[in-house]
Amino acid sequence: MRRSALTRYRWRNIAASLFLWPLLAVHPAQASKNRNAAILARVLSFELSLDERVGPSVGVAVIYKRGDPASEANAEEWLQGLAELAAVRIKDRPFFAIKVVYAPDALRAAIDQGGIDVLLVADGLTAESEVIAKLARAKHVLTAGNAASYVERDMTLCVTEQGGNIKIIVNLNAAHLEGIRFSSSLLKLATIIR
């Protein structure tokens, strides 16, 4: 009795599928992170205080938690998204993005010597968000978080997906403490937290 083609080549098919899967998989997460990165850059162009507090370029530090693969993966997604925009200027300024492991000293150094103007906090740093926010307020840098929970607590800005739509959330009190002012053109498109 002949076996069917499926059972005859069963193991070959399974092996082929395993080999081909990474080639065939779409990366929806990265696609949306590219868009979120573009939105973040656009939001920065609406910041009225940008000219006063940044130098010749706008620096974004993507902060992640050491030893947390999910946090680092999230940071990597953001970095890739911002890297896509490497040739695009914000308010006539080039901008760059780097990945930084969370450590208060490292952050301080990045701001003081690395030309960092925006702290973008990846997932997994909820416990550390207060310290990050405090530093940002002292140094007048903008804090942005990957999740809405960040901006509900301490941080100024969040670009996140909610219900299939991308939302911008702005915490005006945090912005005020960080010395950040946004144009009303942005605020009318954002969800405001006071």
How far is CA 169 from each of CA 63, 94, 101, 134, 190, rounded to the nearest angstrom? 19, 25, 25, 19, 6
For another protein, the closer CB: 63 or 159: 159
> For residues 71 and 122, is the Cβ–Cβ distance under 8 A?
yes
3-state helix, strand, coil split of the chain in percent (to 5) is 50, 25, 30
- Confirm or reject binding of residue 146 to another protein (CB under 8 A): no
Residues of this chain, 16-55, that bind another protein according to CB under 8 A = 16, 18-19, 22-23, 25-27, 30-31, 34-35, 38-39, 41-46, 48-51
Closest approach, Cβ 128 to another protein, in A, equals: 24
Which amino acid, residue 66? R
- DSSP letter at 49 equals T
Closest approach, Cβ 140 to another protein, in A, equals: 14
Closest approach, Cβ 80 to another protein, in A, equals: 8
- Confirm or reject binding of residue 90 to another protein (CB under 8 A): yes
> For residues 172 and 183, is the Cβ–Cβ distance under 8 A?
no
- Choose, by CB under 8 A, the member of 76, 84, 128, 152 that binds another protein: 84
Question: Which of 7, 85, 8, 74 lies closest to 43 in space, CA to CA?
Answer: 85
Please state whether beta strands 142-145 and 118-121 pair in parallel, antiparallel, or not at all (unpaired): parallel
- Confirm or reject binding of residue 6 to another protein (CB under 8 A): no
Rg of the chain on CA atoms, in Å = 20
Q: How far is CA 100 from the centre of its chain?
A: 12
- Choose, by CB under 8 A, the member of 85, 132, 133, 136 that binds another protein: 85
Closest approach, Cβ 157 to another protein, in A, equals: 13
Residues binding another protein (CB under 8 A): 11-12, 15-16, 18-19, 22-23, 25-27, 30-31, 34-35, 38-39, 41-46, 48-51, 84-85, 87-92, 165-166, 168, 172, 176, 183-189, 192, 194
